[in-house]
Amino acid sequence: MDQNIRSQGHIPSPVLDLASLNWHQRIWPQHPVVWPTQTQAEPPPFDGAAQRGVVTLVAISVLGIAASHLAGDSSGAETVFGLALFGGAVTCVGLRARGRAPRACRLLYLAVTATLLLSLISNGVGMTVLLVSGALPHPLMVVPFAFLALYLALLRRGWHRASALATARADALNRRAARLDPNWDAEQRAFGTPGVNLVGALPRFGERNVALGTLGEQITASLLEHFCVMPGVRVVHGMRFPGSARADIDHAVVAGNRVALIDSKLWQPALYELDPWRRILRNKQMHAGYRTSLGTAIERVRMLMPGAEVRGWIVVHPNAPGAVGVVNSCPFMRIVTAQTLLQEVGEWLAPQGHLVDRFVLEDVLDMRV
pLDDT band at 286 (very low <50, low <70, confident <90, very high): confident
With left for phi above 0 and alpha for psi between -120 and 50, is residue 9 left, alpha or beta?
left
| Better-scored residue on pLDDT, 57 or 99 | 99
- Asked whether the predicted pLDDT for residue 138 surpasses 70, the reply is no
Count of C-beta atoms within a 10 Å radius of residue 276? 9
Output the DSSP codes for 235-265.
Answer: EEEEEEPTT-SS-EEEEEEEEBTEEEEEEEE
| Better-scored residue on pLDDT, 241 or 252 | 252
Distance CA 172, CA 115 (A): 35
- Asked whether the predicted pLDDT for residue 215 surpasses 70, the reply is yes
Mean pLDDT for the chain?
76
Q: Is 12 exposed, middle or buried (0-12, 13-18, 19+ CB in 10 A)?
A: middle
Q: What is the tens place of the pLDDT at every residue in 19-33?
A: 999 999 999 999 999
The whole-number pLDDT of residue 140 equals 46
The whole-number pLDDT of residue 186 equals 83
Closest CA to 317 of 15, 7, 9, 5: 15
The whole-number pLDDT of residue 191 equals 94
Report strand pairing: 234-240 vs 248-255: antiparallel
- Asked whether the predicted pLDDT for residue 213 surpasses 50, the reply is yes
Report angle CA 278, 359, 189 to the nearest 5 degrees: 80
Lowest mean pLDDT among 9-23, 60-74, 289-303: 60-74
| Counts for the chain of helices (H) and strands (E), in that order | 11, 12
The whole-number pLDDT of residue 181 equals 75
Query: Looking at residues 239-268, what average pLDDT do you find?
Result: 90
| Better-scored residue on pLDDT, 263 or 164 | 263
| Better-scored residue on pLDDT, 68 or 178 | 178
The whole-number pLDDT of residue 10 equals 76
Report strand pairing: 258-267 vs 248-255: antiparallel
- Asked whether the predicted pLDDT for residue 93 surpasses 90, the reply is no
- Asked whether the predicted pLDDT for residue 41 surpasses 50, the reply is no
Lowest mean pLDDT among 131-140, 202-211, 251-260: 131-140
Distance CA 253, CA 242 (A): 17
| Better-scored residue on pLDDT, 45 or 302 | 302
How many residues are there in the chain? 369
Q: Residue ranges per domain, the chain?
A: 2-34+188-365, 48-178
The whole-number pLDDT of residue 123 equals 60
SS3 state at 357 = strand
The whole-number pLDDT of residue 46 equals 42
